Chain A
C-alpha cells in the first residue's frame, strides 16, 4: 500500500508541473480506490451503494480544483482521502443524514477491492444542463463527444484559449452547483 501511495505522489508531482498524461494516469488509478471507499462509507451510513459514483465524481472535481492546496513535498494519499472523506460527509449531510464517517473507510491501508461493476452517475449530467450555454457546449464536446480542445475550438469557431477558459470555468461552476445542490 505504501508503494501505491508513493507512486501516486510521484504522478501528482508530474501532474502539477504540467504533465497531463501523468495526471490522467493518476486519476484513473485513484478512482477504483475512491469508489470502493465511497461504497463502504455509504453502506455504513445505510445508504444505497449505487450512489457511489456521484461521490467519486465530486471528489475528482474537488481534487482538480483544489490541487494547489496539496503540498508537493507531502504524500498525496492523505490529502486525497481527506478530500474524499469530506465529500462523503457533505453528500450524506445534504441528504439529511447526521453521520459520522469512520476514518477507516478512507484509510489507505485498506485494499481497494474493485467494484464488480461501475454504478451510473447522474448528478453531474443534471447540473451540466444548468450551466451557461458556452460552458455546457464546451464541456459536452470534450467529455461526451471526446473532442480535443482544437476540434472543439473549430466546431464552435472559438479560439483554443477561449475553449480552455470555458472548460475551466465550466468545471468550476459545475463543482459549485454540485456542492449547493
Chain B
C-alpha cells in the first residue's frame, strides 16, 4: 500500500479519537478494586480493634503513606502515557509517600516506646504482609496495565513499574486495615519490600504489553 493511500484511508476513518487514558484507567481500577477488597475480606478481614486503632496516629499514617503512593503513581503514570513525556519534573511526586514515612519514623523515635526498635521493625505480621500485598495487587496491576495500554508510553518498562507502584499502593491501603503492625519502621521495611516486588512484576509485564 502506498503512503498516500494509507493517508487517505486514515483521513476517511472519521471515528472520534479514543477516550482519554485517565478515564479508561479510572474505570479499570474501579472494576478491579472490588476484587482486591473481596480478597481482603475473604482471606484476612479487618483487624478487630479497628475503631480503637483509628485513634492511633501511626495506624492512620499507614493509610496516608499508601494512598499518597497510589495517588502520586497515578499522576506519574498518566503523565508517562503521553509519548513526549519524560520523568523529569515528575519523579519527585513519588518522594511524597517516602517523605511521609520518614516523618513518621522520626516522630516515633521522639516518643517513648514500650517495645525496642527491632521488635517494632520485625513486627508480627511481616510474612502475611509480603504475601497479601502482592496478591491483592494483582487484579489492580492488571487493571492499571489495561488502562495504560490505552496510552502511548514510550518507556513501557518504566510505565509498568509505575503501574506496579500504583497497584501496590492501593493494595497496601486495603491491607493496612488488617495489619496490626502500626510502627512506621515496619511499614518502611515490609510494605516497601512488597511494593518493590510488585513494581518489578509491573516492569517485567509492562515491557511486553505496554508497547504500542
Contact call B12/A167, Cβ cutoff below 8 A: yes
Contact call A68/B15, Cβ cutoff below 8 A: no
Main secondary structure of the interface of B (DSSP, over half): loop
Give the complex CA separation of A118 and B151 in angstroms.
31
Give the complex CA separation of A139 and B5 in angstroms.
10
Residue of B nearest to A23 (CB): B11
Give the complex CA separation of A171 and B11 in angstroms.
12
Contact call A24/B83, Cβ cutoff below 8 A: no
Q: Which residues of B contact A53 (CB under 8 A)?
A: 3
Determine if A73 is an interface residue (Cβ-Cβ < 8 Å): no
Pick from B5, B9, B154, B212 the residue with the most CB of A within 10 Å: B9
Q: Which residues of B contact A21 (CB under 8 A)?
A: 11
Stretch of B16-24, B93-101, B134-142, B174-182 on the interface side: B16-24
Nearest Cβ distance between residue A2 and chain B, in whole angstroms? 17
Contact call A171/B9, Cβ cutoff below 8 A: yes
Which residues of chain A from 20 to 41 have a CB within 8 Å of any chain B CB? 20-21, 23-24, 27-28, 31
Q: Which residues of A contact B84 (CB under 8 A)?
A: 74, 78-79, 81-82
Q: Which residues of A contact B20 (CB under 8 A)?
A: 68
Give the complex CA separation of A68 and B16 in angstroms.
9
Determine if B81 is an interface residue (Cβ-Cβ < 8 Å): yes
Determine if B211 is an interface residue (Cβ-Cβ < 8 Å): yes
Q: Which of A16, A23, A124 contacts B1 (CB 8 A)?
A: A124
CB within 8 Å for A62 and B12 given contacts A86-B83, A121-B3: no
Contact call A167/B13, Cβ cutoff below 8 A: yes
CB within 8 Å for A68 and B1 given contacts A60-B7, A79-B83: no
Q: Which residues of A contact B7 (CB under 8 A)?
A: 24, 27-28, 31, 60
Give the complex CA separation of A155 and B18 in angstroms.
28
Q: Which residues of A contact B13 (CB under 8 A)?
A: 64, 164, 167-168, 171
Contact call B154/A124, Cβ cutoff below 8 A: no
Q: Which of B11, B21, B211 contacts A69 (CB 8 A)?
A: B21
Contact call B12/A82, Cβ cutoff below 8 A: no
Q: Which residues of B contact A81 (CB under 8 A)?
A: 84
Give the complex CA separation of A61 and B16 in angstroms.
15
Which residues of chain A from 70 to 125 have a CB within 8 Å of any chain B CB? 70-71, 74, 78-79, 81-83, 85-86, 90, 118, 121, 124-125
Contact call B5/A68, Cβ cutoff below 8 A: no
Residue of A nearest to B81 (CB): A69
Determine if B10 is an interface residue (Cβ-Cβ < 8 Å): yes
Which residues of chain B from 37 to 86 have a CB within 8 Å of any chain A CB? 81-84
Determine if B110 is an interface residue (Cβ-Cβ < 8 Å): no
Give the complex CA separation of A60 and B83 in angstroms.
14
Contact call B1/A142, Cβ cutoff below 8 A: no
Residue of B nearest to A62 (CB): B212
Determine if A46 is an interface residue (Cβ-Cβ < 8 Å): no
Contact call A83/B152, Cβ cutoff below 8 A: yes
CB within 8 Å for A27 and B10 given contacts A16-B17, A86-B154, A179-B211: yes
Report, nearest first, the 5 A-B pairs whose CB atoms are least far apart.
Answer: A82-B83, A82-B84, A24-B11, A68-B17, A66-B152
B residues at A contact (CB < 8 Å) = 1-21, 81-84, 151-152, 154, 211-212
A residues at B contact (CB < 8 Å) = 16, 18, 20-21, 23-24, 27-28, 31, 53, 56-57, 60-62, 64-71, 74, 78-79, 81-83, 85-86, 90, 118, 121, 124-125, 128, 139, 142-144, 146, 148-149, 164, 167-168, 171, 179
Further 10 A-B residue pairs, CB within 8 A, beyond A20-B14, A69-B83, A167-B13:
A18-B16, A57-B6, A66-B152, A68-B21, A69-B151, A118-B3, A124-B6, A142-B8, A171-B10, A179-B212
